[in-house]
Chains A and B, each alone.
Chain A
Amino acid sequence: MGYSGVMNSSVIKASGLTFRYSDGTPAIEDISMDVREGESLAVIGPNGAGKSTLLLALMGLLPCGGDISVFGQTLNQKSAKSIRRRMALVFQDPDDQLFMPVLEEDVAFGPINLGLDADEVSRRVEKALSQMNLTDKRQRPPHHLSVGEKRRAALATALSMEADVLLLDEPTSSLDPASRHELTEYLASFSATLIITTHDLNLAKRLCTKCLLLSEGRQAAYGPSEQILDDIELLRQHRLAAPK
């Protein structure tokens, strides 16, 4: 996994990003960000701040106002499909992510849709399952997996895409401390660009170079992680606990 390109070129750039629900309520409003090569972004904020909506918007899954470009390519209806080949999203609830009857088929779903040949699909499935330590669970239906296994399985479905950008929605929620630590260390070893929504500011501090703080759908702060995560007053104002 990894991407090739000019050093420090823009990976994802968004400006004036806005999405409103059908009743006109804004979910996110006027969000701007620029994640460059070698950087990773933590999207933090209290519940209902619009973090998950932002991830869906960045994947081109919601009809948003504003501009998004991924690797210099403007995201629109035409380009969304080709852009999604370079990005993989892991949903907060693994039961949304795992929709096939058995794990192996779920992990293969993305590579098959990329149009890869059967051997390449098999190679990617093997690799993703082994990376997530799930090789022996490959024939299990998702409802036979534990919460932790489901979380890793959801990640495996994204890993098999071998994307350049990995978007993770609350990856450590409902994990026990040991599993959380393992996952954090695993994600730290990734060379892909990470965009992570989280309440877990220790995870944000460990993995992300930049932070975007959302509050009620608006951008409350954006900048280097150390600057935002060390601002205890700012975090407290937005119902967040400073990392240890």
Chain B
Amino acid sequence: MHHSYLDKYARRDSPMHRLNARTKLLLFTSLVVFVAAVPRPGLVVSAVLALSVFTFGAIAKIPISYLIIRSAVIIPFTGFAVLSFALTMTEGEMYWQWGPFALTSEGIGRSAYLLLRAWMAVSFMILLINTTPFNQLVNALRCFRIPSIFVLLLSFFYRYLYLLWDEAERMQRARNLRYFGGFWKKQAALIGNMVTSLFIKSYERAERAQLAMQSRGWDGRLRYARIESLRGADIFTLVISGAGIVILWVIQVL
């Protein structure tokens, strides 16, 4: 398997990695909620939040290049919204206009804030995923009373995503060995067949996994091993970060 993992750095050793998963889940989720709740963060607040992304990244020994490349995932999702903000607002100083489209200072400002907020939210989630092994993250979710069926599905998703990915790669390789080009219609039919085959394989695997679970006592109810308790460093981090978010909120409101 040679595809890059979603959580490439999750098993490194750093002060961030050593924190309890619940602490990190609470910390990064609070930051995302804060970013989402403040529609137009001031310069100081924006700078502090952006700096915190890189600071957390540095503490967790996650390369900046990785953070930036991974966070580029927002481009297709926010690109349309950013462009529509930038090109449709008429308030503020006008720089350019063509028919219904206009480029104004207000439009540029709003789209920049939107992009910044989206980037910060995604970066915080990337930090969470890359500082917390997935199983710990899932266990932390159930501590926050997330429905157990959702938690279980999430565990299976993580476990079998890579397997499906591998299967798809193997099928593609097999196809490439015997495929020498053709019309797009033929290609579309081939892709359709591959997706169908992948679906059937996944379905069959799901059935076998269920039998494996049943053979080890699964009766539809989730039972868990014990949860690690919070340590001093976790309490300290939660208090400091909570205070930091409150201060940022006050600065923003004032």
Q: Complex Cα distance A186/B167, Å?
A: 32
A108 at the interface (CB under 8 A from B): yes
**Does B150 lie at the interface of the complex (its beta carbon under 8 Å from any beta carbon of A)?**
no
Selected interface stretch from B29-37, B39-47, B204-212, B245-253: B204-212
Inter-subunit contact A113/B209 (CB<8 Å): no
Cα distance A115–B156 when bound, in Å? 22
**Judging by beta carbons under 8 Å apart, are B159 and A142 in contact?**
yes
Complex Cα gap A121–B225 (Å): 8
Residues of B within 8 A of A109 (CB): 213, 216, 218
Instruction: Tell me the dominant secondary structure on chain B's binding face.
Output: helix
Any A CB within 8 A of the CB of B214: yes
Residue of A nearest to B209 (CB): A99
- The distance from the CB of B164 to the nearest CB of chain A, in whole angstroms, is 11
Nearest CB of A to B168, in Å: 14
Expressed in whole angstroms, the minimum distance between the Cβ of A43 and any Cβ of chain B is: 17
CB pair B216–A96 under 8 Å, yes or no, is no
- Total count of chain B residues near the partner, CB < 8 A: 30
Q: Are A161 and B216 in contact (CB under 8 A)?
A: yes
Per the bound structure, the CA–CA distance linking A59 and B224 in Å amounts to 24
Question: Which residues of chain A have C-beta atoms less than 8 A from B217's C-beta?
Answer: 81, 84-85, 110, 113-114
Does B158 have its Cβ within 8 Å of any Cβ on chain A? Answer: yes
A44 vs B208: C-alpha distance when bound (angstroms) = 21
Q: Are B214 and A141 in contact (CB under 8 A)?
A: no
> Which residues of A in the span 33-80 have a Cβ within 8 Å of any Cβ on B?
56, 59, 61
A-chain residues with CB within 8 Å of residue B224 when the two chains form the complex? 112
How many angstroms between the C-alpha atoms of A19 and B163 in the bound complex? 30
* B-contacting 9-mer, from A23-31, A86-94, A213-221: A86-94
Give CA–CA (A109, B217) in the complex, Å: 8
CA distance A27 to B159 in the complex (A): 30
Residue of chain B at shortest CB distance from A59 = B215
Let me know if A95 is at the binding interface, CB within 8 A.
yes
- Cβ of B138 within 8 Å of any chain A Cβ, yes or no, is yes
Q: Does B93 contact A (CB under 8 A)?
A: no
List, in ascending order, chain A residues with CB within 8 A of B11's CB.
139
- Please tell me if the beta carbons of A97 and B212 are within 8 angstroms of each other in the complex: yes
Given A96-B208, A143-B162; A101-B225 close (CB under 8 Å): no
Residues of A89-127 whose CB lies within 8 A of B = 89, 91, 93, 95-102, 105, 108-110, 112-115, 118, 121-122
Is A118 a contact partner of B159 (Cβ separation < 8 A)?
no
Interface size class of A (residues with CB under 8 A): 35 or more
Most buried by B among A84, A91, A99, A121: A99
Residue ID in chain A nearest B217 by CB atoms: A113
Given contacts A91-B208, A91-B212, contact A141 B159 (CB under 8 A): yes
Q: Once bound together, how far apart are the Cα atoms of A118 and B226, in whole Å? A: 7
Kindly identify which residue among A81, A99, A102 contacts B212, using a CB–CB cutoff of 8 Å: A99
Given A81-B219, A110-B217, check contact A101 B159 (CB 8 Å): yes
A-contact 0/1 string along B140-162, CB 8 Å cutoff: 00000000000000011011101
A99 CA to B211 CA, complexed, in Å: 11
> Quick one: which of A115, A141, A157 has the most chain B CB within 10 A?
A141
Residues of A whose CB lies within 8 Å of any CB of B are 56, 59, 61, 81, 84-85, 87-89, 91, 93, 95-102, 105, 108-110, 112-115, 118, 121-122, 139, 141-143, 157-158, 161
Given contacts A84-B216, A100-B135, 7 further A-B pairs with CB under 8 A are: A91-B208, A95-B163, A99-B156, A101-B133, A141-B135, A141-B162, A143-B1
10 contacts between A and B (CB under 8 A): A61-B215, A87-B215, A99-B209, A101-B158, A102-B135, A112-B223, A113-B218, A143-B166, A158-B216, A161-B216
Residues of B participating in the A interface, judged by any CB pair closer than 8 Å: 1, 11, 133-135, 138, 155-156, 158-160, 162-163, 166, 205, 208-209, 211-219, 223-226
